[in-house]
Amino acid sequence: MSCGVALAVSLLLSDPNVAMAAAQPPAAAAAPVSVAGEPLFADIVARSGALKGVVQGWIDAGVMDQAGFAAGPAFAGFKAEAEALAASDMQGHLILKERGTDGDLKCILRGISEDMPKKVAAVETAVTPAELRMALDELAYLLNDNVEVITAPPQPEV
């Protein structure tokens, strides 16, 4: 037996902390890093939160009972902002895809970018107050989800 191996065995047997450390699974190479502080993602969070506030304000004000709400200038401005937000979500998806990181967030951002125009269109095409309420609720939920998925602590890949 070489001297190095003999020394390692004697240290292993004499110090219980060394034995416990050796029995632990190896540490993860790199913990996932949150992107929430990066400018693009922080902007997505801010704009999503603001747009959700607008939608919630409409719900609270009862726009469901206003004829032609979706044809008005307020909704037209909102629609343009929602389209820009969807484009930013897709940009976030592409950035994460290029990095090869955060598979879940990457996929969710793509899904949100594809769902945003559909939710806006549902508001535009709603015929009854109940349909408009449902469309606004779903739009508010999507905007809130956009905030939460970016600000949630990143999880390790499984």
pLDDT tens column, 60-75: 999 988 888 899 999 9
DSSP H helices in 29-102: 39-61, 73-99
Torsions phi, psi for 24 (to 5 deg): -75, 150
> How does DSSP classify residue 17?
H
Predicted pLDDT at 67? 84
Q: Which residues neighbour 18 within 8 Å (Cβ) at sequence distance 6 or greater? A: 11, 12
CA 109/CA 116 separation, integer angstroms: 10
pLDDT tens column, 98-120: 988 757 899 999 999 999 999 99
Q: What is the mean pLDDT of the chain?
A: 84
pTM as predicted = 0.78
Angle between helices 129-151 and 73-99 (to 10 degrees): 30
Locate the domains of the chain by residue range.
Answer: 39-151
Predicted pLDDT at 8? 47
Mean local confidence (pLDDT), 141-145: 98
Residue that wins the pLDDT comparison between 47 and 26: 47
